[in-house]
Structure 1
Amino acid sequence: MFSRIKEDINSVFDRDPAARNSFEVLFNYPGLHAIWFHRLSHKLWRANWKLLARFLSTFSRWLTGVEIHPGATIGRRFFIDHGMGVVIGGTAEIGDDVTLYQGVTLGGTSWKAGKRHPTLEDNVVIGAGAQVLGPITIGKGGKVGSNSVVVKDLPANATAVGIPGRIVPDKDSAEENQQREKAAKKFGFDAYAVSTENPDPVAKAIGRLLDHVHLMDSRVSDLCKEVNRLGGDVCSNNLPELKVGEFVEDEKEAAKRRESKIASFDPEI
């Protein structure tokens, strides 16, 4: 039992950069508490102590904000981040290393007995507020975007977004994504979410912009080399680094100026 708890705590450090130490995780992560309560209630459910199992799961819901039916089957290193509002149905099956965020529902679409809830295979990630409904399967490594509603099977390593959920094609190669990250670092830009694995259209637009900047930079660099080879002296200075803080400070100064103008305005004039 203690080895499983230790394994759960270690899995948090792999998926939540805000986790600082084991003591903090042990006492301040309700998603983990809900999983531990579920393991006990699931054993009671399988031992046919169903009423006691439901009492325990209800208490866990009250304590953590996470509702997991005692009949649900959950694998190892399952992580519920933030947790509040998560609902997992009684016939749901969850594999290893699966991650759910707040507000996720693994629900049913029918009142008929039998398999009514989703199956999540290993390494699946479900974004905040997403609804995965019915006896469908999310393949290994599948991702569901925040606030999406998925009612059909999702192949392995695919990403579904929208209502109803649709698969987002990822035509860019790993090499292209690596080039974007290098270009971002070179220009002092935060490389977070520039990969097309992120279905956010703004992130995709930034990624394409970085592709364009990278191409133009390569051509200018080749041109500078040829000019220098012919005896010129160009492109000797390094590119200035872009710092987000500078733009933030500019916004603060602009806000102060606006407040000053409003304060000095006399409505009687």
Structure 2
Amino acid sequence: MFRFLKQIKRDIEVIFERDPAVKTVWEIILCYPGFHAIFFHRIAHFCYKRKWYLLARMISHWSRHITGIEIHPGAKIGEGLFIDHGAGVVIGETAEIGNNVTLYQGVTLGGTGKEKGKRHPTIGNNVVIATGAKVLGSFTVGDNVRIGAGSVVLSSVPPNCTVVGVPGRIVVRDGVKVDNADGQIDLRHHLLPDPVAEMITTLQKRIEELENRLAELEEERNEHQDLQYPNQTKRKVYLAGTK
């Protein structure tokens, strides 16, 4: 019971730390579906570990209808999980989540097959997974990782990386410190690189280079023609002047 209360206390604290809109503890207790989902999951997981599977699933099922967040009672969740907004979040049976993790709406921690055993991802500490991201399969996402909105991650991610795109690719590795010096989590997921915008910018730059090169080639061709056929050039100038 003491451990359960400690976890709930930490779950409330992280909402104050990461959500500037919150005003009071009662607001969290009464109005935050992310907190409700985690609260009921901890009860369901307690039942699941004691093999009270039906009761665990009933609690999980009821919680999903109330919150719009589906967490299988078998999932292992550390302290300080913050589910912001929460609608559409899905966490599978064998998923494992470390401490101080932040999930935004539409995130899926899912499996890629029907095999028994471990088939969902393991998420490290201080991880931020942005809106609509999908992490699918049995692999590890390291500590201090940031996953961009709409990304689809299908393989392991080392610690201290930023991942974006479909399929997910690492765009920052150890170059940017994900957790600040004071230990707070960097929630600025809206500043993650946009792979589509980067590709468009690269294509625009390439088109400009090709246009400049084409203009240079046309100028060289005209100069070459002037040197090779000077009489024709004079005739063109004369005809242009008589019009």
- Would the TM-score normalized by the shorter structure come out above 0.5? yes
Residues 70 and 88 of structure 2 are in contact (CA less than 8 Å); yes or no, is this contact kept in structure 1?
yes
| Alignment-derived partner of residue 18 in structure 1 | 21
4+ residue runs over 4 A deviation: 170-174, 201-204
2:146 maps to what in 1?
A: 143
Q: 2:50 is matched with which residue: 34, 44, 47? A: 47
Q: CA deviation at 1:16?
A: 1.0
Contact 1:196 1:203 in 2 (8 A): no
2:172 is aligned to: 169
**Cα deviation per residue 1:67-97 (whole Å; 9 max; x = unaligned)?**
0001000000111111110000000000000
Q: Determine which structure has greater relative contact order: mean sequence separation of CA pairs < 8 Å that are 6+ residues apart, divided by chain length.
A: 2
Letter in 2 for 1:142: V
Match of 2:133 among 123, 130, 137: 130
Farther-moved stretch of structure 1 (136-145 vs 13-22):
13-22
1:236-255 matched pairs, under 5 angstroms: none
Gaps of 5+ in 1: 175-191, 205-269
Out of 72, 75, 78, the position equivalent to 1:75 is 78
Counterparts of 2:75 and 2:151 in 1: how far apart (Å)?
22
Amino acid aligned to 1:141: N
| TM, length-normalised to structure 1 | 0.64
Residues 90-129 of structure 1 show CA distances to partners (whole Å, capped at 9, x for unaligned) of: 0000000011000000000011111100000100110010
1:106 aligns with 2:74: no
Query: 1:172 offset after TM fit, Å?
Result: 6.5
- Corresponding position: 1:198 with 2:192: yes
Shift of residue 133, structure 1, vs aligned partner: 0.1
Report what 2:118 is aligned to: 115
Distance in 2 (alpha carbons) for counterparts of 1:169 and 1:71: 33
Q: CA deviation at 1:201?
A: 7.0
Task: Give the Å deviation of 1:8.
Answer: 1.2
What residue in structure 2 maps to residue 9 of structure 1? 12
Tell me how far apart the structure 1 counterparts of residues 152 and 38 of structure 2 sit (CA, whole Å): 24
Report how many aligned residue pairs link the two structures. 186
Whichever residue aligns with residue 99 of structure 1, its letter is T
3-state DSSP of counterpart to 1:51? helix
CA contact (8 A) 2:148 2:165 kept: yes
Answer with 1 or 2: which has the greater Rg: 2
CA distance in structure 1 between the partners assigned to 2:108 and 2:54 by the alignment: 23
The alpha carbon displacement at 1:21 in A equals: 1.7
- Using the TM superposition, give the Cα deviation of residue 137 of structure 1 relative to its aligned residue in structure 2, in angstroms: 0.8
Q: What is the rounded CA distance, in whole Å, between the counterparts of 1:30 and 1:196 in structure 2?
A: 22
Equivalent-residue separation in structure 1 for 2:27 and 2:20 (angstroms):
13
- 1:140-179: CA deviation from partner (whole Å, max 9, x where unpaired): 00111011100010110101101000011369778xxxxx
Q: Could you tell me which of 30, 33, 37 is aligned with 2:36?
A: 33
CA–CA distance in 2 between the matches of 1:162 and 1:111?
26
Deviation per residue, 1:231-267 (Å, 9 max, x gap): xxxxxxxxxxxxxxxxxxxxxxxxxxxxxxxxxxxxx
Q: Measure, in 1, the Cα distance between the counterparts of 2:101 and 2:16.
A: 14
Identity %: 54
Kindly report the root-mean-square deviation, in angstroms, between the aligned alpha carbons of the 2 structures.
Answer: 2.5
Q: Secondary structure at the match of 2:45?
A: helix
